[in-house]
Homo-oligomer: A and B are copies of this chain.
Amino acid sequence: MTTVLVHAGRDGPQWQAQFARIAPDLHSVAWPDAIEAERVDYIACWSPPVNFFGAYPRVKAIFALGAGVDKLLSRPDFPAHVSLVRLTDAGMAEQMLEYALYGVLSYQRRMPAYAAQQMRAEWRKHPPRSRGEVRVSVLGLGAIGGVIAQGIAALGYAVGGWSRHPRSLDGVRCVSGDESLTTLLERSDVLVNVLPSTAQTRRLLNHERLSRLPRGAYVVNCSRGDQLDAQALVTLLDQAHLSGALLDVFDAEPLPPDSPLWRHPGIQITPHVAGTTLIEPSVAQIVAKIRDLESGIAVAGVVQPERAY
């Protein structure tokens, strides 16, 4: 009987119950419940303890319970010969679209300025901005970025997108390559970052690149904290070069209580909730992929180690 071991922290039993519900023919176990290590065919996990993987010698594939796989890939105990499969959407993209749209509306309707005025009990109107004049740029145009870019474009905003490899999306001005990134940044009123975390994207949004954004621009980061130089962001906010930022991810999470980001008036903080892994669609996706793998069919979402996503 094909056996799946689930490691999902406190939520493990909930995940296992969903496997049992929709795939009673699979043997599913929530760690640390008893299981013969030799029998584990598949592992579904997010952040298991150190040296977790070495205990299961016959595992055929490992499923990441999230879209970002950088933390798992960089673990020394991750078995090099085993495929890592990430969730390719599982309801996350639509959540990320909502989050990004909230940031776009915050910029368009000048909510950071009105929030600052509210602190001073100041009643002052600023000129309206139409959707068509708000230029939104999405960095990363995969399963998540594509949904964000097209969802925002469908509402009438002027949307561009950047990706490492060329992409084409209806209604979105897509560019790729390092040089086009600079040009795109210069034309971005709202920058939405959903790039995967790799060696290439680390600190991609540094002071030099963030400075290319036009005066008054707004930054939404809902991918990984290490891609954004938070100190550069603060500097540009303090100089009023940027008008605000909506941040969901940070170098260290939980964000330490003494981080100055918490108290910056131009920064709105959420605790890594832009896209939450939803149990039902995620388990459905993993079960379908296990069935394909058992039948020798290739599946989507297998991480390519050289690209790291």
Contacts and interface: CB of A to CB of B under 8 A. Distances in A.
Interface string A91-134: 10011001101100110111100110110011111101011000
A271 B117 contact: yes
Contacts of A121: 255, 257-259, 262-263
B128 A276 contact: yes
Given A118-B262, A126-B273, A128-B273, A98 B102 contact: no
Interface in A168-225: none
A272 interface: yes
A76 interface: no
A110 B131 CA distance: 24
Interface residues of A, number: 42
Contacts of A258: 121
Interface string A254-271: 110111001100001111
A268 B216 CA distance: 21
A269 B109 contact: no
Given A105-B105, A109-B102, A118-B262, A128 B270 contact: no
Contacts of A273: 109-110, 114, 125-126, 128
A35 interface: no
Contacts of A122: 257
Contacts of A272: 125
Interface in A69-109: 91, 94-95, 98-99, 101-102, 105-106, 108-109
Given A95-B128, A128-B95, A269 B102 contact: no
A123 B271 contact: yes
B105 A255 contact: no
A253 interface: yes
For A105, A110, A126, A272, which residue has the most chain B Cβ atoms within 10 angstroms? A105
7 contacts: A98-B105, A102-B109, A109-B273, A110-B273, A121-B259, A123-B255, A124-B271
